[in-house]
Structure 1
Amino acid sequence: MIYYHYAELIQRQAEKYGSRTALKYRDNVSGKWLKISWREFADKVMLTAEAMAEFGIEVQENIGVYSQNMPQCLYTDFGAYTNRIVSVPMYATNSPAQIEYIINDANIRTLFVGEQLQYNNAFKVQKESAILKRIIIFDSSVKLNPEDKTSVYFDDFLRFGDNTHAASAVKIRMNGATPEDLATIIYTSGTTGESKGVMLHHSNYLEAMRIHDIRLPMVTDKDTSMCFLPLTHIFEKAWVYYCLHKGVKVAINLDPKMIQKTLVEVRPTLMCNVPRFWEKVYVGVHEKINSSSPFMKKIFLDAIETGRLYNLEYKNKGLKAPCGLSTKFAFYDKTVFTLLKKVLGIDRGRFFPVAGAPLSDEVNEFLQSVNIPIRYGYGLSETTATVCFYPEEGFIFGSIGTIMPDIQVKIDEANNEILVKGKTVTSGYYNKPEENAKSFTEDGFFRTGDAGRLEGNVLFFTERIKDLYKTSNGKYVAPQAIEMLMSSDKYIEQIAVIGDQRKFVSALIVPVYSLLEQYAEQKGIRYENREDLMSNKDIIRLIESRIEEHQKNLASYERIKRFTLLSQPFTMEGRELTDTLKLRRPVVAKKYAEQIEAMYQE
């Protein structure tokens, strides 16, 4: 297998595939899916590269990409790589303050933006910035601020490079590209402190391609992958790059809220996603089961149990299932399971990587039982995504998978921290020498900040070390593990476990408001507003019973003793969540200090 530097990957694939579809996206006006061939893709990348050179963007200069998923994001990334320029992605949901921090830290003079919101935020920053000089806008319908004299629409930007001088400059740069060139700086979401820029070189990505080829021989150029997670997220970015390396067709979901519709329209064979997506599938299916007639409920439950026995007790263990079980499973697979997957738009699915947060065994077991081919794993921005993931067979529940080829993992004896070493590991954080000194061991292993254990080549995750709580009784509590237990409950949308230096564990809970309203209607519970409903004794008893059911196997000191129902959810805008939907525990503790203190009053 040839591993092309990203400076030439798209051009080489265009030579191989020509008019075949490389990318597709749903037009917001017509609702039709528009196709982009490999040749068209390569042409746009080259025009972007030439325009960058003509604009005076230097070799290894940092540019910013502040946009939701769009084809232009990929034109910009690969146009940059063709020029040996560094791409710095930013979440479309980032606030002006967040992008200002990245622009200042990475010294970004040129920023590519998506739609009106991103443009408005960027221009606000540019007006006060001594660094940001120009904004280039993907969406041609964006209305410019009357004061704006420097911004350019992307289509107009491309015309700047349509000359022989620019083409010659790009060719020279392209020929000088090396694996050691810096490719991207991906800023961490900063759950506990200041965001840090993870430096990833082309050598990191090239190694990631190589080791994924070893583990994923089933991925071919006949596959279609749905690009749903933000391309700012290393999981989606590295996965899409891998798909392009394999010649996979990539369908770009422009609007996260449209995913249920676009999945049914595209019916992808591949899609990487986070556990929360699958938790909602789990809750939705069980809602459907519970509202069915007794006969249909019996059928559904029998199908799930049959799938569990076949897939987990036999297939996963490399055993041949009894003839009767195989026949029964085949029947359910072609009827109940296929119908379920068709409704979701994943009936053609062959491989669905899942990572980014802990996935409960309960949800995992259900998905495996109904024959949804998820492959749970673990990785970080600092490791170019994947450190480990489930093998097709022989995976172990409770683990986060089998370690990737040529990746070294060991456990720090002092605090059980997971340490990683390999060619996919970052060279360090941008402009953060002190952080770099703390982040690597003397023998070159990266400190992940996660606790775990190793059994042979299988890795188990315990908890984010910074998240570990120590109660006033001296007991250590892992809040993520408790939160994961609650995540599969249909009434619980979000939960923040509290307990650091406290006498017992408590929780702030954001319920699924619509289901609580339905419950109130069924039980004849009267209320005036959401706050009134959240304080109703019957509603509190309901949630209490749900919590008790999920934590019955926990140690007494780990159990939630008190909780508060919140009338408003945790959000990115409210700063309780990062752009990757992780809890910012210090923000939650500060914002809800009054409610937390109330739970500990005698």
Structure 2
Amino acid sequence: MHEVPYRSVPGMIRENAVRFAGRTAISYKKGGQYISLTYEHFYERVLMAARGLRKAGVSPGDRVAIFSENRAGWAISDIGSQAARAITVPIYATNTPEQAAYVINHAEAKIVFVSNRVQYEKLLKIREQIPGVRLVVSYERFMGDLSFPVYTLYQLSEISHPLTPAEKKSIEDDIEAIGPDDVLSIIYTSGTTGPPKGVVLSHGNMLFDAYYGSKRLGDVQREDVFLSFLPLSHVLERTAGYHAPLMLGAHVAFAESVEKVVENMQEVRPTTMVCVPRLFEKIYARIHENVHQMNPLRRRLFFSAVEMGRRYVELRYVKRQPAGGLALRYRLADRLVFRKIRQKFGGRLRFCISGGAPLDKTINEFMWVIGIPVFEGYGLTETSPALTLSTKDALRFGSVGKALEKTELALAADGELLVRGPQVMRGYYRSEEETAAVFQDGWLKTGDIARIDGEGFVHIIDRKKEIIITSGGKNIAPQPIESELKLDKYISQAMVYGDGRPYLVALLTPYIERLLELAQQENIHYFDVEDLVSNEKVLALFEERIAAVNGRLPSYETIKKFALIPRDFSVDGGELTPTLKLKRKVIYQKYQDKIDRLYLEPGNGFPEREASDNGGNR
């Protein structure tokens, strides 16, 4: 099993229940305070859940769905299902009833765990559509319409009845029988380009990635506290923010919700977190918003410290040269400026891991400057997920690092990244045709266009399917342009469009707080936000901001026209995946009339700049 010291995830928990018996494994908020389970107690709860599932008729190979936010019950039912030799199928808590029905039916799940009444009622709405579900198990007790058979996790686990020696031996015999090639989970893709596909991942796939990802960082310690807030339904959080820390004997604390992450950071004081770029974008914007409110002297001190910090980080970590006197100046800036910023995140955050989408180079540099290194990785649900990862010893901003050990990368003729390695999936569940389509002579086709430089650093250009081909034949990657736009203090989100069209346009969502501040300063009268984003002064401001971005781009990549959307794209609105990636097709369909008008109507445009188009195709 490629030197990974465990054969299965339940086997790992079994061993660590002895090695780290009294250490905290997981903690969760209940009744206003965090409650902890030790490794020994956590393992006991896993065995009890497995006992209950076996009594409920779960057989090896059966699929068990988990429809819940991150919490202790998620972890107990996940590993408990595996200990019963079942296959877990996570469902995003934000999924609609219809989306949940698709996953449950496609995976043929017999039992569904839910977090609370909200998720249970989603199942009630689709009761007739999911006839294969025999039982629902809730992490919370509730009353009301219980037409679906429902137990609580406590009832299923028979928590008041200790495991008998015979029960424990029987379950542990099952755990012993699980091997690296056995299926651990079927994880459904977030569906940015079509119906979700069920990615079949083995214990070996996911343990390899957790083990070699941790080994590559070399910075994860047994004393670390991971704050888990990204959905465990997503493979990045499951591997890097859950399997990896439990493998190392570290502590996983579950955030109450995405909205309460900052509050929970103050309570838990995490040392590390797994994040997506959107969170870092918000951190970057909020810090600069606070700086904007400072007096001129403090503002100058901040920007001077950041600029000096950039030089220090470049010298120390990118060029790997002695920093000399610059190191002393950086330590002073850290004491005066950056340490105060870190206190807002609990004061102990040593590093973060970023994945799921490209992280803007400027924002990544800024995080390193303030003393919270962000290690950017790259991968897919189909690769468990990590294929590459940056480290303190191998860092290039704008790159996603180098390949993990035992991971082979290659480029197809059109620049598509191909991969082989122990973390690559078994295939798509119940879809031989789609599985065959993504493999080429033993290599998995990632669907991403990439560049690998002479030192082995991987640079992701964009999704192959998202590359814009204009009517003039130019191939343009939208994500780098969107990242440039989002660095502007007035722009919260951006989607660039132009496939088959003569030029690029953008849909932009503004930072509402800054827009309201502007309206007050400029004495702009408006009825509501929708009225405000159509105001001539506001549109003129955005024209200026986009013109500034255009000045840094080749002419064929410039934004010729734009439209302002009065609210952010969101998961609830259907425009973002649960991991906050743009659903371009949905956004285009939703705002097609606005996009079409940008190509039909005169005005709201930018003059052509004289610029060479040499090397236009990326």
Q: Which TM-score tier does this pair reach, normalised by the shorter chain?
A: over 0.9
* 1:211 aligned partner, one-letter code: Y
| 8 Å CA contact retained: 2:315, 2:322 | no
Q: Which runs of 4+ in 1 moved over 3 A?
A: 160-169
Map of 2:568 onto structure 1:
569
Tell me what 2:473 maps to: 474
Q: 1:146 to 1:226 in 2, by over 3 A?
A: closer
Q: Which moved more, 1:461-470 or 1:587-596?
A: 587-596
- Aligned residue for 1:543? 542
The answer to whether the 8 A contact 2:503-2:559 is kept is yes
Q: Is the 2:7–2:179 Cα contact (8 Å) retained in structure 1?
A: no
Q: Is the 8 A contact 2:110 2:135 kept in 1?
A: yes
Deviation at 1:428, TM superposition (A): 0.8
Residue aligned with 1:328, SS: helix
Deviations 1:149-195 (A, max 9, x none): x1111111111986757545423322311111100111001111111
The offset of 1:209, in angstroms, is 3.2
Q: Offset of 1:223 from its aligned partner?
A: 0.9
Offset of 1:568 from its aligned partner?
Answer: 3.3
Q: What is residue 424 of structure 1 aligned with on the other side?
A: 423
Task: Give the superposition deviation at 1:216.
Answer: 2.6
Task: Establish whether residue 112 from structure 1 lines up as the match of residue 110 from structure 2.
Answer: no
Do the aligned partners of residues 300 and 597 (structure 1) sit closer, same or farther apart at CA in structure 2, a change above 3 Å counting? same
Residue type of the partner of 2:122? Answer: N
Residue in 2 that maps onto 1:392 = 392
- Match of residue 150 from structure 2: 151
1:595 is matched with which residue?
594
Q: Give a deviation string over 1:68-102, Cα, whole Å, max 9, x none.
A: 00101110111122122101001100101111001
- Does residue 498 of structure 2 align to residue 496 of structure 1? no
Q: Secondary structure at the match of 1:489?
A: coil
- 1:546-588 per-residue CA deviation (whole Å, 9 max, x = no partner) reads 2222232211121111111112332223322222222221222
SS at match of 2:338: helix
Indicate yes or no: 2:13 matched with 1:14. Answer: no
Aligned to 2:357: 357
Report deviation, 1:146.
Answer: 4.7
User: Please, what TM-score do these two structures have when normalized by structure 1?
Assistant: 0.96
Q: Deviations over 1:109-134 (max 9, x none)?
A: 10000122211102222343221121
CA distances 1:286-344 after superposition (whole Å, capped 9, x unpaired) = 12222211111111111111211111123431211132x22211111223111110023
Deviations 1:338-359 (A, max 9, x none): 11100232x3122211111111
TM-score, reference length from structure 2: 0.93
Letter in 1 for 2:229: F
- Higher alpha-carbon deviation: 183-192 or 553-562: 553-562
CA offsets, 1:515-559, max 9 Å, x none?
A: 211110111000111221011011111122222222322111211
The amino acid that maps onto 1:216 is L
Distance in 1 separating the partners of 2:503 and 2:360: 23
Partner of 2:269: 267
Structure 2 distance, partners of 1:198, 1:128, is 23
CA distance in 2, matches of 1:566, 1:242: 40
Structure 1 segment 181-200 matched on structure 2, within 5 A: 181-200=182-201
Q: How far does residue 32 in structure 1 lie from its aligned partner after superposition?
A: 1.1
Contact 2:318 2:396 in 1 (8 A): no
Question: What is the one-letter code of the residue matched to 1:286?
Answer: H
Q: Which runs of structure 2 are paired with 1:77-476 in the superposition (5 Å)?
A: 77-140=78-141, 142-148=142-148, 150-159=149-158, 167=168, 169-239=170-240, 240-323=242-325, 325-345=326-346, 347-413=347-413, 415-442=414-441, 444-456=442-454, 457-476=456-475
Q: Is the 8 A contact 2:277 2:354 kept in 1?
A: yes
Distance 2:172 2:38 in 1: 23
Deviation of the 1:593 alpha carbon: 1.4
Partner of 1:419, secondary structure, is: strand
Are the counterparts in 2 of residues 51 and 166 from structure 1 also a CA contact under 8 Å?
no
Letter in 1 for 2:402: T
Give 1:465 deviation, angstroms. 0.6
SS in 2 for 1:353: strand
2:273 maps to amino acid: M
Amino acid in the other structure paired with 1:263: M
Contact 1:51–1:162 (Cα < 8 Å) also in 2: no
Distance (whole Å) between structure 2 residues aligned to residue 286 and residue 550 of structure 1: 18
Q: Which moved more, 1:196-205 or 1:565-574?
A: 565-574
Once the two structures are superposed, the pairs formed by residues 15-54 of structure 1 within 5 Å of their partners are: 15-27=18-30, 29=31, 31-54=32-55
Where does structure 1 lack aligned partners over 5 or more consecutive residues?
A: none
Check 1:289–1:568 CA distance in 2 against 1; reply closer, same or farther (3 A cut). closer
The equivalent of 2:515 in structure 1 is 516
Measure the CA separation in 2 of the matches of 1:225 and 1:146. 36
Q: 1:339-381, CA deviations, whole angstroms, 9 ceiling, x for partnerless residues? A: 1100232x31222111111111111121122221111111111
Kindly provide the amino acid, as one letter, of the partner of residue 26 in structure 1.
K
Counterpart-to-counterpart distance in 1, 2:561 and 2:125: 44
Counterpart position of 2:582 = 583
Distance 2:172 2:354 in 1: 39
Q: Distance in 1 between the 2:194 and 2:329 partners?
A: 53
In 2, Cα distance between equivalents of 1:196 and 1:468:
22
Residue type of the alignment partner of 2:462: E
Residue identity in the other structure for 2:492: E
Tell me how far apart the structure 1 counterparts of residues 54 and 324 of structure 2 sit (CA, whole Å). Answer: 65
Residue pair 1:211, 1:406 contacting (<8 A) in 2 also: no
User: Quick check: 1:494–1:569 contact (8 Å CA) kept in 2?
Assistant: yes
Letter in 2 for 1:9: M
CA 1:520 to 1:342, structure 2 compared with 1: closer, same or farther past 3 Å? same
Separation of aligned partners in 1, 2:223 and 2:573: 42
Aligned 8 A contact 1:312 1:368 in 2: no
Deviations 1:381-418 (A, max 9, x none): 111111112121341122111111110000101x2101
Provide structure 2 residue ranges, at least 5 long, that are not aligned to the other structure: 602-618
Instruction: Kindly indicate whether residue 73 of structure 2 is the aligned counterpart of residue 72 of structure 1.
Output: yes
How far, CA to CA, are the matches of 1:117 and 1:75 in structure 2?
20
1:450 Cα deviation after fit = 0.4
Counterpart code for 1:203: G
Structure 1 Cα separation of the partners of residues 43 and 245 of structure 2: 15
1:437-467 per-position Cα deviation (integer Å, ceiling 9, x unaligned): 110011x111110000112421110010101
Code of the residue aligned with 2:419 in structure 1: it is V
Distance 1:440 1:244 in 2: 32
C-alpha RMSD over aligned residues? 1.7
C-alpha distance in 2 between matches for 1:49 and 1:509: 49
Per the alignment, do residues 40 and 144 of structure 1 end up closer, same or farther by CA in structure 2, a change over 3 Å counting?
Answer: farther
Would you say how many aligned residue pairs link Structure 1 and Structure 2? 594
Question: 2:143, 2:478 → 1: CA distance?
Answer: 45
Q: State the alpha-carbon separation in 1 of the partners of residues 467 and 318 from structure 2.
A: 33
CA distance in 1, matches of 2:449, 2:426: 22
The question of whether the paired residues in 2 share the 8 Å contact of 1:317 and 1:394 is answered with no
Q: For residue 302 of structure 2, what is the amino acid of its counterpart?
A: F
